[in-house]
Amino acid sequence: MEFFEAVANRHSYRGPFTDKEVDPDDLRKIVQAGIDAPSGMNKQTTSFVIVNDPDLVSQIAEMHESNKAFRQAKAFIACTIDAEPEKIYAGCHFQIEDCSAAVENMLLAIAATGYASVWIDGWLRTDGHAEAIGKLIGAPGDKVVRIILPIGVPKYDPRGPEKQPFDQRAWFNSYGG
Ligand SMILES: Cc1cc2nc3c(=O)[nH]c(=O)nc-3n(C[C@H](O)[C@H](O)[C@H](O)COP(=O)(O)O)c2cc1C
């Protein structure tokens, strides 16, 4: 799929998946896209655990009460960062941004390879979900699962909310045009 087509076809998908498995070669390609993302001062702080063992997939999947894509995922990609990120520039760390850049690259790669996903973030931070998943995937104590992506072949066409028109969000040369 051509780049701008993949961008336009990426939508958060929370619906059901088909029974089709996710090809491990595609998972590798998708995660390579995450690895290829930029990172603050090139620290490459995000690590990725690809979950495609069916037992492990179902243990993670059943933790979510409502999100169908999560509950029916055929694979997950768990993205970990440091639990206590080191401040590396002007008192800041960039691990959230590093992780986000990697995730967006992966979401585009997921769309480009015919799968669908959704950025799962808020839910991870509630009721010990990140900790429980970290334990299941053997993440060391100094790492935290920051974002997780459920992956599968969507049963329905992914459709996202309308984006605001270009002119309301972007201008040449001066804010507001
Ligand atoms: C930082 C961030 C956190 C998000 N967290 C969640 C989440 O926890 N659960 C969820 O279902 N969607 C989550 N999303 C997906 C957004 O709801 C979604 O991107 C937005 O509604 C726009 O839809 P689109 O992705 O189809 O363009 C998150 C997106 C971002 C960028």
User: Count of CB atoms within 10 A of residue 95's CB?
Assistant: 22
The residue contributing the CA closest to ligand 1 atom 6 is 120
11: tokens are: 């939508």
- From the CB of 159, is ligand 1 less than 6 Å away? no
- From the CB of 12, is ligand 1 less than 6 Å away? yes
pLDDT tens, 97-107?
999 999 999 99
Q: Is residue 149 part of a domain?
A: yes
Q: Which domain holds residue 32?
A: 3-8+18-155
The residue contributing the CA closest to ligand 1 atom 30 is 119
Q: State which ligand 1 atom lies nearest to the alpha carbon of 123.
A: 8
Residue 113 pLDDT grade (very low, low, confident, very high; cuts 50, 70, 90): very high
Domains in the chain, number: 1
Residue 128 pLDDT grade (very low, low, confident, very high; cuts 50, 70, 90): very high
pLDDT of residue 125: 96
pLDDT tens, 8-25?
999 999 999 999 999 999
Can you tell me the distance from the alpha carbon of 125 to that of 101, in angstroms, rounded to the nearest whole number? 19
pLDDT of residue 164: 97
Q: State which ligand 1 atom lies nearest to the alpha carbon of 158.
A: 26
Q: Is residue 83 part of a domain?
A: yes
pLDDT tens, 135-174?
999 999 999 999 999 999 999 999 989 999 999 999 999 9
pLDDT of residue 114: 97
- From the CB of 123, is ligand 1 less than 6 Å away? yes
Question: Could you give the C-alpha distances from 89 to 47, 92, 104, 124, 147, in angstroms and in order?
Answer: 21, 5, 23, 27, 23
Q: Ligand 1 centroid to 12 CA: how many Å?
A: 6
Q: Is residue 174 part of a domain?
A: no
Q: Is residue 47 part of a domain?
A: yes
Q: Is residue 161 part of a domain?
A: no
86: tokens are: 């080191």
pLDDT tens, 24-45?
999 999 999 999 999 999 999 9
- From the CB of 118, is ligand 1 less than 6 Å away? yes
User: Is pLDDT above 90 for 1?
Assistant: no
CATH of the domain at 112: 3.40.109.10
Q: Is residue 160 part of a domain?
A: no
Residue 74 pLDDT grade (very low, low, confident, very high; cuts 50, 70, 90): very high
pLDDT of residue 126: 96
Average pLDDT over residues 66-80: 97
Which alpha helices (H) appear in 3-117, and where do they start and end?
3-9, 24-35, 54-61, 68-71, 95-112
Q: Is residue 176 part of a domain?
A: no
- From the CB of 161, is ligand 1 less than 6 Å away? yes
58: tokens are: 């179902």
